[in-house]
Structures are given as structure tokens and as C-alpha cells.
Amino acid sequence: MADTRPIGVFDSGIGGLTVLREIWKVLPGESTIYFGDNSRAPYGNKSRSTIIRYSLQNMKFLESKDVKMIVIACNTASAYAYDTLKDRAGVPVVEVVTPGAEAAIRATKNGRIGIIGTKATISTGVYKKAVEDCAEKHGIKNIEIYQKTCPLFVSLAEEGWWDNEIARLTAKEYLTPLKEAGIDTLVMACTHYPLLAKVIGEIMGDVITLVNTGEAAAAVVKNMLTEGGNTSGDAGTPKREFFTSDEPEMFESVATPFLGEGLPSGTGHFTTDRYEVEI
Ligand code: DGL
């Protein structure tokens, strides 16, 4: 029987829309509810306990909307809070780290993989471990991992500066060490980075495969729903809802480039800090 409940997706703000758009591409018939925690963003420079608390609160909100699955569409929240959410959620939880790692292992030919993300994501070492675990699982030896935090990419993406001289100079500064290390695969381990893919590609050169973790996660969402018999089938027009913890107008004004299309009007406002959670 068709499961017409929506897929719940959350992020620290607008970046997760790059994940949502990938979900829409592979599952156009599914209803979705997106929550952007804009009033408490960014998560990328917060502590572990804060990120876990915020993520648990966001999970509670999505559960109150009777979602059939929760997608952590934020690399930072995935890196810190996935284990906790997976244990506590009443529905399956999908994160973006392992799918990104799997995609990197599939793509690399020379075994040299770069990972770029927020300070919080990189400092957990979760991505590095995920890539190493995937390599081991597939019997691939001699993997070398090079990591780099690129905090300014988030501001550039939000400012709409993803294809100008400032973006190019910033990318050059951040990425030159990875290029010099001879990587052939680069994991964009932050929701905002796919917007800068053109400039990142220019700096790194054609030989590099860029891994979009949102795309990789969307494929996992599709597989899980299909294998579990939980797709919505031909249930008619899907409903696409949006909520933000900050001003809806503000959210709507910056969302379009991240989503790749205009938002349906009527973004709701909701703050999840009202939920009491234990870490
Ligand atoms: N969504 C975050 C991530 O993917 C980036 C923005 C933030 O720091 O909150 O890591």
C-alpha cells in the first residue's frame, strides 16, 4: 500500500535545499516537509552538544508532522547527531556523510580524496572515518585523505557570490593545497558548496570528480523507500511544505538559488527550541 506521508528534511537553514532539490529530482511524486533552523544557523561553528540538541529538537518537529522518514540535510548535523537521532527517531533517518563517502570511493582512481566542509564537520573526523570504512568494505587499499575547512564558502553562497573574482580567489586559497596533493576526487561536505561547484571545478581542473553529498543522499532515500515499499505511488500531486525558525520572507528571498526554483508561497514559521530534549 502506498505510504503518502511526507519525507521530513531539516537543515541549519537554507543549505539543505540543495539536498531537497536532489530528492525532488529522484522522487518527484513524494510529499516533503522542509525545516530550516535559520534563527540558530550556522551550525558549522557550534559545539557538539548544541548541534545534537538542535537536531533532536528539529527531529521532534518533523515527527509532529507525521513524516515517514527524516533526512538530515546538513553535513554538520549529520556528522554530530546522526547516531543520536537514529536511536531516538521513530522513523528511519538518512544522513549525508556515508552516501558522500561511498560516492567518493566509487569515483576515485588514484585513491587520493579531498574533503571540504565546515570547521565542525571536519573536526569530528567523521567523514575521514566514513571514507576509510567504505574503502575497507570494498577492499580498496592505500587511500589518502586530505581535509580542509572552507568556512567562507558558506557566506559566499548565501551572498550569491558563487561565480565572481572573490569566490575564485577564496577557492584558490582554500583548494591549492588539495590540488597540490594530487587528489582526483573532492567531497563537497557542506550543503552550500554545490552552489560554488563551477568555481571549485575551475580551480581544481577537469580531472577532479566533485561529489555532491546531497545527490548521493537522495539516491539512498529513494532506495530505502523503494525497498521498504514506502513510496507514495501514484497518490496524486505531492505537497511541498516549508518552515523556518526565522522570518519566512527572509527565507523565501534567499531560497531560490539553493533550490533551483522558486519556493511555493506560504513558508511557515516555527521555532523548535520549545522542545525539551535530553542529550
Ligand atoms: N548546513 C551546513 C553544513 O552542511 C552549513 C551551514 C552551517 O554551518 O550551518 O555543514
Give me the CATH number covering residue 16: 3.40.50.1860
Report the alpha-carbon distance of residue 49 to residue 35 in Å, rounded: 20
Question: Does pLDDT of 70 surpass 90?
Answer: yes
Kindly report, residue by residue over 142-157, the tens digit of the pLDDT: 999 999 999 999 999 9
Q: 259 and 205 in one domain? A: no
**Is residue 72 one of the residues assigned to a domain?**
yes
Task: Verify that 101 and 177 share a domain, yes or no.
Answer: yes
**Are 75 and 145 contained in the same domain?**
no
> Which of 193, 213, 233 delimits the end of a domain?
213
The alpha carbon dihedral of 227, 34, 127, 166 has a sign of: positive
Q: Distance (Å, rounded) from C-alpha 139 to C-alpha 137? A: 6
Give, for ligand 1, the residue of 35, 43, 150 to mutate: max count of ligand atoms closer than 8 Å to Cβ: 43
Distance between CA 244 and CA 34 in Å, rounded? 8
Same domain (yes/no): 42, 83 = yes
- Higher-confidence residue: 206 or 144? 144
Residues 101 and 207 in one domain: yes
Amino acid at 268: G
CA distances to 77, 105, 183, 209 from 114, rounded to whole Å, are 20, 11, 6, 10
Domain identity same for 145 and 230: no
Same domain, 105 and 59: no
My answer on whether 139 and 86 are in the same domain is no
Predicted local confidence at residue 265, as pLDDT = 82
- 237: pLDDT strictly greater than 90: no
| pLDDT value for 1 | 73
75 Cβ closer than 6 Å to some ligand 1 atom: yes
- Is the CB of 44 inside a 6 Å radius of any atom of ligand 1? yes
For 185, the 3-state DSSP assignment is strand
Within a domain: 2 = no
Structural domain range at position 36: 7-95+215-274
Identify whether 65 is part of a domain.
yes
Residues in CB range of 170: below 8 A, 6 or more apart: 150, 152, 153, 156
Closest-lying ligand 1 atom to the alpha carbon of residue 11: 1
Q: How many percent of the chain have pLDDT more than 90? A: 93
The residue annotated as part of the active site, out of 190, 203, 211, 255, is 190
> Mean pLDDT over residues 63-77, rounded?
97
**Residue 244 belongs to a domain:** yes
Same domain? 245 vs 263: yes
Distance, CA 229 to ligand 1 centroid (Å)? 31
Give the C-alpha distances (Å, rounded to integers) separating 207 from 60, 110, 199, 210.
43, 11, 14, 10
Whether 84 maps to a domain, the answer reads yes
Range 120-142 average pLDDT: 95
- Which tops the pLDDT comparison, 146 or 235? 146
Q: What is the pLDDT of residue 30?
A: 97
- Identify whether 42 is preceded by a cis peptide bond (ω within 30 of 0): yes
Q: Is residue 204 in some structural domain?
A: yes
Dihedral sign, Cα of residue 135, residue 139, residue 140, residue 142: positive
Q: Does the annotation count 74 as an active-site position? A: yes
- Asked if residue 1 is part of any domain, the answer here is no
Confidence band of 262 (pLDDT split at 50, 70, 90): confident
Ligand 1 centroid distance, CA of 79 (Å): 11
Model confidence at 87: pLDDT above 80: yes
Total number of domains constituting the chain = 2
Q: Which one from 9, 74, 200, 255 is the annotated catalytic residue?
A: 74
- The answer to whether 150 is a known catalytic residue is no
- Is residue 245 lining ligand 1, measured as CB closer than 6 Å? no
The last residue of one of the domains, among 171, 187, 213, is 213
Q: What is the H or E stretch that residue 145 is in?
A: strand 144-149
Do 207 and 229 have their domain in common?
Answer: no
Is the CB of 190 within 6 Å of ligand 1?
Answer: yes
Asked whether residue 87 falls in the same domain as residue 134, the answer is: no
Q: Of 163, 187, 213, which closes a domain?
A: 213
Q: Does residue 117 sit in the same domain as residue 76?
A: no
Average pLDDT over residues 252-278: 93
Stated pTM of the model: 0.96
Count of residues in the chain: 279
Residue 170 — very low, low, confident or very high, per pLDDT cuts 50/70/90? very high
Is 279 within the bounds of a domain?
A: no
